[in-house]
Structures are given as structure tokens and as C-alpha cells.
Amino acid sequence: MALEGHGIGFNENKAVFVPYTAVGDELEAKLTRERKDMAFARAEQFFQRGEGVMDAPCKVFGIETPCGGCDWLHLDYATQLKYKSCLIRELFKSLAPELSIPETIPSADITHYRNKAFMPVGEVDGKMIHGIYARWTHHIVQHELCQLHPPLFDAIAGRALEIMSRAGVQAYDEVSHSGNLRHIGFRGSRDQSRVVLVLVTRSGKLPFSKVLVRQITEEFPQISGIVQNINRERGNVILGTEEKLLWGEPWLVEQLAGLSFRVSYNSFWQVNSSILEKIVAILKERVDPQATVFDLYSGLGALGLSLASHVKRVLCIEDNPKAVVDGEHNLLENGITNADYLRAKVEDVLPKLFESGGEKPDTVIMDPPRSGLRQPVLDALLAARIPRIFYLSCSPITLRRDLKFLLDSGLYEIKQIQPFDMFPHTWHVENLAEIALK
């Protein structure tokens, strides 16, 4: 198996990547794209299925209707975990040959685990639809019951589109930049007792929005807030910078590590709450209670504030203004007195903090975007010789790149890499890497 979730076969000494396959499959495949050193193919006919293959519990998964949500819905859960552990061990083997990477920690919730979802809206035969983009396209694949997010999300989405269609709302067309409703989104509490509904529109106009609010909240009492987010720009970015609160509150309150966290619809919060709990538990075990901790890319403080009662001091650094507002609220709400927020881009402020001779952390924890760390951050960490660094990443490839840079300095060694199954039924793996000065 390969990163991106494809199976690997070989033809004339060339690696051929085939989606929706498994180790041990015997199949006929048709080449769809060929390069000098590799090729991609589509499975045409299976003669024998490999280890852990099962019937996928979704009509739009697989070769004929390739919804882009799942990669491995055709594999039983034990096989998925095995593949993920193998992928991570293979990726980091050359970087740390002596390191023993443990098994991937499983998710407590295997289906319907996502607490957040944004689905594109389109039109088929004059009817508004929602779904998930097919792989590598902007073709919307409709589904009846997504295995990744709660059924409640799809039920609300379907009814909301019916109400808005009757009010004359049209789906957005990205080619002509016409129509209005672009995405329908959700953020839900773990017990699904509270849901924030988000309508992403091209303009500020939303006909009969009061009718929508009245009808949808009567039918779905779990809805605690409805937000109209306005994105007037072309492009792939989902959320815009303008918003209207149509009803209720634009946030939820979640519990983590004995604390209450306000989570706005546009603040970052891990999509799998059961795995987030396990990550926090491991950090509490591994971080020195006497440490001063910098939490980089802190978001609303899920990691840093959860550690506050366990360590000497925490400084959260985050540039998203909504996340900082949530984070400062969470400080006050939980009576945390040994933590502060600094609103700034990490790559801008971290070198200045270290160069000024001010406060220096014993430990840095960080959960950067999928693109990983920018060079000024890596340079600042090296120059300051931070004793211990915990790096949480949803991208194994950029994690390896950044760790290699730090290890190549000769100052650091990897103490631990722990994979977590944050995203069941996909090939994606969340990893917590711990490195320390030699």
C-alpha cells in the first residue's frame, strides 16, 4: 500500500498505483495515466480479493462512483489500522532506523465520527443537491448516508435545501460565478445535542431566511445556531470573511480534559473528539510538570490550555482572530491564570521572541497546518535550542520533511512517533512526534 491509499502493483519494473485495492488482490487494471517512473490505473476486474476486504456500506464508494470522502471503506478496521502503521513505519524508517514506532491508536468512533463537515451545493435537473467532491474533481457526488459524519448533518442539509429551493435560492455555479448557495456546513457537539448550521453564500442576500430559521429549528431542535457566511470571491476557499448570525449562537461548548471549550464554527478543533482526548492524555504523560510551554498554532487552546494545570506556564500563539477570541474566553471560563494568548503569525513572532532574550520555553507543542512549518519557525527553534518539541501533524510527508531538517542539525533526536487514527476509512494518519536535544 502507498500514501494516498492506493495499492501498488508492478508492470515492466514500473510501479502502478491502483485505488480501492488491497494487499493480495489479483485484478485486471487499465492504465489511466503514465509517467516515466510510475503509472496510475483503474481496477477493471477482480479475480481474487486480498486481506480484510469487505463490502463497503455506501453506495457511492468505489470505482464507479468515486466519492472523495473515503479511501478504505472496503477494508475492515483491523486491516486499516495495520496499513496505517506500516505506512508510517516505512516513511520514517530511513530517518530514524532504530526508532520503534508503536501501533496506530484506534478511534473509539469508527463511523459518523466527524464533528465538522462542509459539503458543496450544486444542481441536478433543476434540483439543489449536496454531497462530496469526487477525487481530484469538482464533480459533486450525492450520498444517502455518509459514513464519516453524523446522519443528522445529512438530514438537516436535505431539508434546508428543500426550504431554500422553494424560496428561490439557487446553487452556486463556480464556472459562471452565478447562483448563491455555495456550501452547507455543520459543527456538532460530540453527543450531537447541539449543531451549528452554516450557509455559505456568494452574496449577502438570502431570501426568506426568517422562514428557513423558523421551519428548520422547529424540525431539528438540536440546531443551536445558524450562520450565513458570505464568500464573494472565486476559488476553492470555502469560508469568506463576512458573516451574519441568523439565529442562536455561532459556537458550541465542548468538554475536554475536565475543561469547557467554546468552539466557534470557524475555529479549528480536531474533527475526531475521541482521538483528541487520547492526544491530550499522552501529552500530559510526556510533558514535564515544571515546564514553560509554548503552544504554537494553538487555535482556541485545545492542547495548551488542557496542559495548563499540569505545567508551570503556557503561552498560546495563534493568528486567527476568531480562534484567539475563543481561546481568551476559554481562559476566563475555566479560571486559568498561568496561560496567555499572543495573536500573531508564528513565523513572524517566534524569531523575535527568541532574539529579544525574553521568555524561553522548556517545551514547544505545535499543530501547524497541513503544509507544515515555514523556514523562519524551523530556524528559530534550532537557534533557541528548545529542549523538547512535540509536533502534531495530519501530514506525514511534511512532518518527515520538518523533522529531517531539525535532525540534520545534529542537535536533536526523535524520542517517539505515535500514530493516531484520527480519520477512519481514509488513508490519513495523525502523528505526534516527540524530539529532544541530544
Residues marked active site are found at 394
- Taking the alpha carbons of 420, 428, 302, 226 in that order, is the dihedral positive or negative? negative
Count other Cβ atoms within 10 Å, centred on residue 175.
Answer: 7
Name residues whose C-beta falls within 8 Å of residue 126's C-beta, 6 or more positions apart in sequence.
none
d(CA 163, CA 158) in angstroms, rounded, equals 9
Stated as kind and residue range, the H or E segment containing 327 is: helix 321-333
- Helix 375-384 to helix 396-408 angle (10° resolution) is 40
What single DSSP character describes residue 11?
E
Coil, helix or strand at residue 163: helix
Count CA within 13 A, CB hemisphere, residue 68.
13
Coil, helix or strand at residue 283: helix
State how far the alpha carbon of 110 is from the alpha carbons of 17, 78, 113, 132, 133, in Å: 26, 11, 6, 19, 22
**Count of positions (residues) in the chain:** 438
d(CA 7, CA 307) in angstroms, rounded, equals 40
